[in-house]
């Protein structure tokens, strides 16, 4: 009845479904005026008392600060600054336990009050409406004002509208529907005029078509006070029936306008902005009085405090000190709730501070708030569905949440649950329904996050695959091009003669083999088949050699391709001839050992084969000699490449330093990572610089052409002295070459890594939906071309090194390896022979054999060393 | 300070499952009193006996299933099942009939499905139907033959102990009688059992008593109005139409509303939340369909009453009804309903 009186004639009040009427417990705390809170020994100010990014500290430990002074500034678009609630000294900046359901720590400023409560500069405005909305918004942001009703969303963000947004209704929330809480009630009763002034500021900023102030009918004094204060102002004070949760933003909008905010949407989408009366009051204080948000009204109630009531507490006041101030009886205190009994959460650490959103503190014994009773079976009574203000089916959600059927739970609109607790309140089976929903929501969020992560990883992987493949293809293309370029100058003409010779030799070998086979046949050799196989082999070799000659003849003038083929054929022939010789030799040896008649014949055949093999080898050498090394001048100057790399590295380092500084200023999480990155880049740059110095030192020697062929043959000669002397001559050159090679390798690796990093950064930015990618793309391209360039230089240098090795020794690496292997074989054969003849041969023969063995040993040693040197000095690795 | 760490909300409403069940039992008392007055103490004996059997069966099953016995017994659901089944049985039911029905209801229809909240069918009605099909004679043997006479205590005890039906005491219910002689005006006129105020001798008093109990439950908000109202409307409306067409062949709506197990079914049986539909709209459909089905079976079926069959059939349909009657969630354009959602 009272409600109807207040509602008045034409003023419409809608209804929302569900809702409950729990015992109000308001009278415990709303009968006394607002009292000042305590001046605690320490104020703990979390940097994140709001929704959004934590504030960035502006003070240091030991700083003396005045009341109202900026201690930390807002950081980013959605953030809010922190001010000193009183004058004093900053004694610590670090993690402290804060208001969080999991009781986790968060960075806080700790202020020790000096008791003087001295204000710093205040800039009250006589007429805030003289300022532009933009300037006002700035002042509101600077004053650290956030929504004081619940979540603590920065007010300046909430009231800055997009271009297309129009506000039809500004709704001011004075409902305060949760039991026990009376902070807004007392505020409205005692400071209604201030609230109206704050609302006028909101009206100025939002320009709404109408302003509705909702207030529950259990607060007639507050409604009367507001009505009186709102005379002349365009504010429609509307009394709504007491029902929990009519103070929920969505429910209040529905109550006053009949509109529903779309699922997952914001009120502004239906032309509504909601603000709490406390926020309006804070706006008044900030603009008209120049006082930033440094205190708030907090209800202290419950049967464990002697003086329940509303206290104007300084932000950062520890809960324990406020409880002390209100006369807590610790023996009775069994449940400590921050917030209301329906949606607040229990505290187990009274050291945590009160923040901008702390509206109520309930210190209760189990008489007032009993321990939760054991959960019983759901009897599907549907009381929860009747109580749900969002028209959900809580009992169904409960089944799904309990069975981890998250998909079905989502299908039943679990995410639209506002966690008001009405369902759990009415449940006759004492099922903690909200707890189940929170769990299921958490699981859904985790799964969504994991899915997103997996998607990102897959995208990243695919992008990387694509990049690697592209790089491989490009590398291969470059390699081909280089080969072509290298081959071009290798004239095929010189080879023709060698090839012809090789062909002749092969034919001869073939004929000899045929002869040998015939002889073997004549004498009835049991190994006839082997001879025949030998003949076949020879024939094939001869044919190939002939074909090679033919090919070379055809393609000779313009061709660049026949040469390697001819060389390969020759190589094969050499190998085959060597093998044939070895076979023949083994047979001859066997025949000798068995003192067969044909031993002499076999011996002679072996000799013939050996001669052939040698001839082929010579032909191969000749053919190779005709193939000049790649032109070293074609390769880009490694010093230049290095210079470029150094420049790039330096600029990358500088950019990283800049980013780090920015990140540090912003208190961004990744500042440390960026710093590390910068350090790493610096080290790289230094290293590159060092390499550049080295390369420069080596540079003058670079253009030097290959030394004389005479010297080149030296390392494989049997004279150790000669080899040593030559080594000293080429050592210096080789060392320089090696240094350059290493420098280039490092430069390439780094350039490639930079490119890769830039590329993945670009990918990340793309995924995050960054708008301005052009600069990043350009940078990636630049880095890529740099890496390619370095790679070209490196490849060229590798080729050059190989060529110079060939020029130095007259042999390429493979030949050296072959030489070494051959020497080893000869040595082994000789030692076998010595062993065999030790008992039978005469002393002279043995002496001769021993000396031969010594020579062979020496040869093998030299060959080994030559190979090893070549490998080491030139840093060549087979790719 | 050892502070309680608990999830919100930190305060709970006063309603408690055990309390709900107790309210239901209190609400049956007027009906039980009238039944005892009219038909002797047979019903009372059966109610007490059924409670005893139900509690023992429940405890044994809870023990077998490894559940805390005291906690689950405290919810009182077994007692409610026992009372409702015993009220539905004829006052002449012998002890073994009650025993079989209650034991089956608790052990099979309730506990084997997973206990309270998990049973798809109303356990009391499952027990009732088992008995009706297995022992049709004993189940349709109501006190109240002609001439009408209330058995005394000794007779009731003998009945309960299973010493045969007593001559002159047992007979058919008005519903049964009407169905037998429907269309025959003379016969209907002669049947004394039909000459009660509205619904046959004595039965209107039984149903009025259950209506009173049901209104109490409504008043205490133990049950919602949707199911009983839809139930009664669903029964009365077809009855009214048919009666208008042919009053001789079809009984009038008041007769349907106040005879047999109508009020017991509407307020106590169909409102069993576990096996009923859950949304408000679903409950309207659920209740109405039960009412219509009762009228159909009473009029055309082979059994005299139909509350148990109708309730069980609609229990079967309840999940389906729920599926298509989900409410529209706040902020959503339309409700997610049916297979398409």
Q: Find the CATH number of the domain harbouring A278.
A: 3.40.50.11540
What are φ and ψ of residue B285, in 5° steps?
A: -65, -45
Kindly report the nearest CA distance between residue B204 and chain A, in angstroms. 30
- Residue entry with tokens 């107790």: B22
**Which alpha helices (H) appear in A382-492, and where do they start and end?**
383-387, 394-402, 406-411, 422-426, 433-487
Interface contact B75-A377, CB threshold 8 A:
yes
Backbone angles phi, psi at A312, to 5 degrees: -90, 95
Please tell me which of the candidates B117, B322, B328 has its beta carbon nearest to residue A391: B328
Selecting from B20, B283, B330 the residue whose C-beta is nearest the C-beta of A250 gives B330
Q: Are A708 and A611 in a shared domain?
A: no
CB contact under 8 A, A380 and B274: yes
- Quote the pLDDT of residue B172: 66
Interchain contact, A263 vs B278, CB within 8 Å:
no
Between residues 205 and 264 of chain B, which touch chain A (CB distance below 8 Å)? 224
Closest alpha carbon to A435 in A105, A101, A180, A178: A101
When CB atoms are compared, the residue of A330, A396, A429 closest to B17 is A429
| Residues 103 through 162 of chain B touching chain A, CB cutoff 8 Å | 115-118
Q: Which of residues 19-38 of B touch A (CB under 8 A)?
A: 19-20
Most A CBs within 10 Å: which of B330, B335, B337, as the mutation test of the A interface?
A: B330
Is A498 within the bounds of a domain? yes
Task: Supply the pLDDT for residue A175.
Answer: 92
pLDDT for B104 equals 97
Cross-chain residue pair B16–A430, CB shorter than 8 Å: yes
Residue where a domain stops, chosen among A270, A290, A310: A290
Residue finishing a domain among A590, A625, A660: A625
Contact across the interface for B19 and A428, Cβ inside 8 Å: yes
pLDDT at B95: 93
Are residues A773 and A658 located together in one domain of the fold? Answer: yes
Establish if A804 belongs to a structural domain. Answer: yes
Angstrom distances, CA of residue B90 to CA of A759, B94, B135, B179, B295 = 85, 9, 12, 18, 21
Burial (CB count within 10 angstroms: exposed 0-12, middle 13-18, buried 19+), residue B34: buried
Which of B4, B9, B322 lies closest to A335 in CB terms? B4
Contact B329 A425 (CB under 8 A): no
Q: What is the pLDDT of residue B146?
A: 43
The reported pLDDT for the residue numbered A521 is 74
Instruction: Tell me if chain A has a CB within 8 Å of the CB of B328.
Output: yes
Q: What is the mean pLDDT of each run of 10 residues along chain A (879 residues)?
A: 43 84 91 92 89 88 92 86 93 86 81 91 87 90 88 86 84 93 94 94 92 93 93 90 92 91 89 93 93 94 93 94 92 91 88 91 91 86 90 90 89 90 92 92 89 89 88 87 71 60 79 78 72 78 76 54 62 79 76 66 74 76 59 52 74 74 64 71 77 66 43 42 47 71 80 81 73 74 82 79 65 72 82 76 77 82 78 55
Q: What stretch of H or E contains B264?
A: helix B262-264
Q: From A371, which residue of chain B is nearest by alpha-carbon distance?
A: B4
Comparison of pLDDT for B197 and A524, the residue scoring more: A524
CB burial string A376-392: b at 16+ within 10 A, e below:
bbbbbbbbbbbbbbbbb
CB distance A386–B273 less than 8 Å? no
Both tokens of residue A595? 């003192």
With an 8 Å Cβ cutoff, are B224 and A382 in contact?
Answer: yes
* Residue B169 binned pLDDT confidence (cut-offs 50, 70, 90): low
Residue A611 resides in a domain: yes
Q: Helix axis angle, A277-288 relative to A133-142, nearest 10°?
A: 100
The answer to whether the beta carbons of residues B257 and B232 sit under 8 Å apart is yes
Tokens at residue A281, please? 């009051």
User: Are B11 and A342 an interchain contact pair (Cβ–Cβ within 8 Å)?
Assistant: yes
Q: Do residues A595 and A646 share a domain? A: no
The residue written with tokens 């002042």 in the block is A139
Structural domain including A765 reads: 638-874
Disruptive mutation site among A253, A377, A438 for chain B (greatest number of B CBs within 10 Å): A377
Same domain? A645 vs A714: yes
Across the interface, whether the CB atoms of A337 and B10 are under 8 A apart is answered: yes
In chain B, what is the greatest distance between 2 CA atoms, to the nearest angstrom? Answer: 84
Contact at CB, A381 and B273, closer than 8 angstroms = yes
Residues A594 and A657 occupy one common structural domain = no
Query: B-chain residues within 8 Å CB-CB of A434?
Result: 7-9
* Å between B28 CA and nearest CA of chain A: 19
Higher pLDDT: B90 or A727? It is B90
A723 and A843 part of one domain: yes
What A738-741 contacts at long range (C-beta under 8 Å, 24+ apart), as own/partner pairs, is: A738/A873, A738/A874, A738/A875, A739/A694, A739/A695, A739/A698, A740/A638, A740/A695, A740/A698, A740/A702, A740/A797, A741/A794, A741/A797, A741/A798, A741/A801, A741/A874, A741/A875
Assigned domain for A766 exists = yes
Chains A & B: contacts with CB separation below 8 Å: 170
To test the contact with chain B by mutation, choose from A380, A407, A417 the residue with the greatest count of B C-beta atoms within 10 A, namely A380
**ipTM tops the 0.95 cut:** no
B199 pLDDT more than 90: no
The residue ranges of every structural domain in chain B are 16-170
Q: How far is A378 from chain B (nearest CA, A)?
A: 5
User: Quick check: B334 contacting A, CB < 8 Å?
Assistant: no
User: From the CA of A196, how many Å to the nearest CA of chain B?
Assistant: 31
Report how far residue A630's alpha carbon sits from residue A479's, in angstroms, rounded to the nearest whole number. 13
Residues A607 and A661 occupy one common structural domain: no
Between chains, do B332 and A383 touch, taking CB under 8 Å as contact?
no
* Residue owning tokens 């329906």: A342
The nearest alpha carbon in chain A to B16 belongs to A428
Quick check: B61 pLDDT over 70?
A: yes
**B chain contacts of residue A305, beta-carbon cutoff 8 Å:** none
Indicate if the pLDDT at residue B310 is higher than 90.
yes
Does A426 sit within 8 Å of B13, measured CB to CB?
A: yes
In chain A, how many domains are there? Answer: 3
Chain B: give the shortest CA distance to residue A415, in Å: 11
Look at residues B50, B55, B136 and name the one whose alpha carbon lies nearest to residue B87. Answer: B50
Q: Do A376 and B13 touch (CB under 8 A)?
A: no
A513 and A661 in a single domain? The answer is no
Concatenating the DSSP letter of every residue in B117-163 gives TT-SS-HHHHHHHHHHHH-HHHHH-EE--SSP----HHHHHHHHHT-
Chain B from 42 to 71: CB within 8 A of any A CB: 71
Residue A381 CB partners (closer than 8 Å, separation 6+): A428, B20, B273
Residues A195, A273 share a domain: yes
Inter-chain residue contact A412 with B326, CB threshold 8 Å: yes
Tokens matching residue A250: 């969505």
Contacts of B198 (CB under 8 A, 6+ apart): B204, B254, B255, B258
Chain B's closest residue to A369, CA to CA, is B11
Which of the 8 DSSP states describes residue A71?
E
Query: Is A37 among the domain residues?
Result: no
Do A552 and A671 reside in the same domain of the chain? no
Domain assignment of residue A442, yes or no: no
Nearest C-alpha neighbor of A214 from the set A279, A275, A152, A267: A275
Please report residues of A whose CB lies closer than 8 A to that of B13: 20, 22, 425-427
End-to-end CA distance of chain A: 94
Answer whether A143's CB lies under 8 Å from A136's CB. no
Contacts of A382 in chain B (CB under 8 A): 224, 273, 278-279, 283
CA-closest candidate to residue A170, choices A94, A89, A100, A252: A252
What secondary structure does DSSP assign to A591-651, as a single string? HHHHT-TTHHHHHHHHHHHHHHHHHHHHHHHHHHHTSPPPPGGGSPPHHHHHHHHHHHHHH
What 3-state class would DSSP assign to A544? helix
Cα separation of A738 and A873, whole Å? Answer: 7
Q: Which residue has the higher pLDDT, B238 or B16?
A: B238
């Amino acid at each position: 009845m009272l409600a109807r009186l207040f509602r008045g004639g034409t003023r419409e009040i809608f209804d929302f479904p569900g809702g409950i009427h729990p015992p109000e417990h308001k009278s415990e705390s709303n009968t006394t005026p607002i009292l000042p809170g305590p001046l605690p020994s320490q104020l703990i100010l979390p940097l994140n008392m709001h929704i959004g990014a934590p504030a960035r500290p502006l003070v240091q430990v030991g700083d003396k600060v005045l009341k109202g002074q900026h201690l930390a500034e807002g950081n980013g678009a959605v953030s809010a600054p922190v001010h000193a609630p009183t004058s004093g000294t900053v004694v610590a900046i670090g993690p402290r336990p804060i208001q969080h359901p999991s009781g986790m720590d968060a960075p806080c400023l700790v202020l020790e009050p000096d008791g003087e409560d001295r204000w710093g500069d205040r800039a009250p405005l006589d007429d805030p409406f003289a300022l532009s909305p933009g300037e006002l918004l700035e002042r509101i942001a600077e004053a650290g004002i956030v929504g004081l009703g619940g979540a603590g969303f920065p007010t300046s963000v909430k009231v800055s509208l997009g271009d297309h947004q129009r506000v039809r209704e500004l709704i001011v929330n004075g409902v305060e529907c949760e039991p026990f809480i009376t902070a807004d009630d007392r505020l409205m009763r005692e400071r209604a005029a201030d609230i109206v002034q704050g609302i006028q500021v909101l009206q100025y900023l939002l320009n709404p078509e109408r302003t509705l102030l909702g207030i529950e009918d259990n607060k007639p004094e507050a409604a009367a006070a507001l009505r009186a204060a709102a005379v002349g102002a365009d504010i429609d004070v509307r009394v709504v029936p007491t029902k929990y949760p009519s103070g929920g933003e969505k429910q209040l909008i529905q109550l006053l306008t009949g509109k529903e905010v779309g699922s997952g949407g914001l009120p502004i989408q239906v032309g509504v902005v909601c603000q709490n009366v406390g926020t309006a009051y804070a706006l008044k204080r900030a603009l008209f009085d120049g006082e930033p948000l440094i205190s708030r009204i907090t209800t202290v109630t419950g049967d464990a405090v002697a003086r329940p009531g509303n206290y104007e507490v300084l932000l950062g006041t520890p809960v324990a000190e406020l409880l002390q101030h209100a006369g807590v009886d610790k023996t009775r205190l069994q449940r400590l709730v921050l917030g209301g009994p329906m949606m607040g959460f229990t505290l187990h650490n009274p050291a945590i501070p009160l923040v901008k959103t702390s509206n109520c503190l309930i210190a209760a014994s189990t008489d007032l708030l009993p321990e939760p009773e054991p959960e019983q079976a759901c009897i599907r009574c549907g009381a929860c569905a009747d109580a749900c203000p969002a028209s959900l089916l809580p009992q169904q959600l409960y089944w799904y949440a309990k069975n981890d059927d998250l998909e079905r739970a989502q299908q039943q609109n679990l995410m639209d649950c506002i966690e008001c607790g009405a369902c759990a309140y009415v449940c006759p089976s004492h099922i903690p329904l909200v707890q189940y929903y929170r769990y299921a929501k958490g699981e859904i969020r985790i799964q969504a996050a994991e899915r997103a992560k997996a998607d990102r990883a897959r995208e990243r992987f695919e992008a990387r695959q694509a990049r690697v493949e592209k790089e491989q293809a490009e590398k291969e293309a470059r390699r081909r091009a280089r080969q072509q370029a290298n081959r071009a100058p290798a004239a095929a003409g010189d080879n023709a003669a060698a090839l012809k010779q090789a062909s002749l030799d092969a034919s001869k070998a073939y004929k000899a083999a045929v002869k040998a086979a015939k002889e073997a046949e004549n004498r009835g050799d049991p190994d006839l088949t082997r001879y025949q196989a030998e003949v076949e082999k020879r024939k094939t070799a001869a044919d190939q050699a002939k074909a090679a000659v033919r090919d070379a003849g055809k393609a000779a003038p313009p061709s660049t391709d026949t040469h390697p083929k001819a060389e390969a054929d020759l190589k094969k022939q050499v190998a085959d001839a060597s093998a044939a010789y070895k076979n023949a030799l083994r047979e001859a040896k066997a025949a000798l050992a068995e003192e067969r008649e044909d031993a002499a014949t076999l011996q002679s055949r072996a000799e013939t084969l050996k001669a052939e093999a040698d001839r082929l080898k010579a032909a191969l050498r000749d053919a190779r000699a005709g193939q000049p090394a790649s032109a070293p001048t074609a390769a880009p100057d490694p010093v230049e490449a290095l210079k470029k790399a150094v420049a790039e590295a330096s600029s990358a380092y500088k950019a990283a330093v800049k980013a780090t500084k920015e990140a540090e200023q912003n208190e961004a999480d990744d500042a440390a990572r960026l710093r590390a990155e910068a350090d790493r880049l610096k080290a790289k740059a230094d290293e590159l610089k060092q390499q550049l110095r080295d390369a420069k030192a080596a540079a003058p020697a670079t253009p030097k052409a290959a030394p004389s062929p005479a010297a080149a043959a030296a390392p494989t000669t049997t004279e150790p002295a000669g080899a040593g002397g030559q080594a000293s001559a080429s050592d210096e050159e080789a060392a320089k070459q090696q240094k350059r090679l290493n420098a280039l390798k490092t430069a390439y690796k780094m350039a490639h890594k930079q490119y890769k990093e830039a590329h993945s950064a670009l990918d990340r930015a793309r995924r995050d939906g960054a708008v301005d990618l052009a600069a990043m793309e350009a940078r990636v391209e630049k880095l890529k071309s740099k890496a390619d360039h370095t790679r070209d230089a490196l490849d060229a240098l590798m080729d050059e090194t190989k060529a110079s090795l060939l020029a130095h020794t007259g042999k390429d690496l493979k030949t050296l390896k072959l030489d070494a292997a051959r020497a080893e074989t000869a040595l082994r054969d000789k030692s076998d022979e010595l062993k065999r003849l030790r008992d039978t041969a005469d002393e002279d023969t043995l002496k001769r054999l021993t000396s031969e063995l010594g020579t062979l040993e020496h040869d093998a040693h030299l060959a080994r060393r030559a190979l090893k040197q070549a490998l080491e000095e030139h840093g060549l690795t087979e790719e | 300070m050892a502070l309680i760490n608990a999830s919100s909300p930190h305060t709970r409403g006063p309603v408690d499952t055990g309390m709900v069940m107790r309210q239901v039992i209190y609400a049956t008392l007027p009906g039980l009193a009238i039944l005892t007055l009219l038909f002797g103490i047979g019903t009372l004996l059966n109610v007490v006996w059924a409670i005893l059997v139900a509690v023992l069966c429940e405890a044994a099953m809870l023990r077998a299933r490894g559940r805390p016995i005291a906690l689950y017994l405290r919810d009182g659901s077994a007692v409610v099942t026992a009372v409702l089944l015993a009220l539905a049985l004829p006052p002449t039911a012998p002890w073994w009939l009650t025993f079989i029905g209650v034991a089956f209801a608790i052990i099979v229809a309730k506990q084997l499905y997973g206990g309270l909240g998990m049973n798809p069918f109303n356990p009391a009605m499952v027990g009732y139907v088992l008995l009706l099909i297995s022992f049709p004679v004993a189940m349709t043997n109501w006190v109240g033959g002609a001439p009408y006479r209330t058995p005394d205590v000794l007779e009731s005890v003998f009945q309960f102990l299973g010493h045969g039906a007593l001559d002159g005491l047992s007979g058919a219910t008005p519903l049964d009688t009407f169905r037998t002689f429907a269309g025959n005006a003379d016969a209907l006129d002669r049947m004394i059992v039909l000459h009660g105020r509205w619904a046959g001798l004595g039965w209107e008093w039984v149903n009025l008593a259950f209506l009173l109990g049901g209104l109490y439950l409504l008043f205490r908000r133990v049950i919602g109005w949707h199911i009983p109202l839809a139930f009664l409307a669903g029964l009365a409306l077809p009855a009214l139409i048919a009666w208008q067409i042919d009053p001789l062949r079809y009984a009038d709506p008041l007769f349907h509303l106040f005879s047999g197990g109508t009020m017991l079914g509407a307020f106590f049986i169909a409102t069993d939340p576990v096996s009923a539909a859950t949304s408000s709209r679903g409950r309207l459909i659920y209740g109405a369909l039960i009412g219509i089905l009762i009228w159909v079976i009473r009029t055309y079926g082979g059994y005299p009453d139909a509350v148990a069959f109708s309730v069980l059939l609609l229990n079967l349909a309840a999940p389906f009804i729920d599926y298509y009657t989900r409410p529209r969630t706040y902020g959503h354009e339309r409700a997610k309903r049916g297979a398409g959602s």
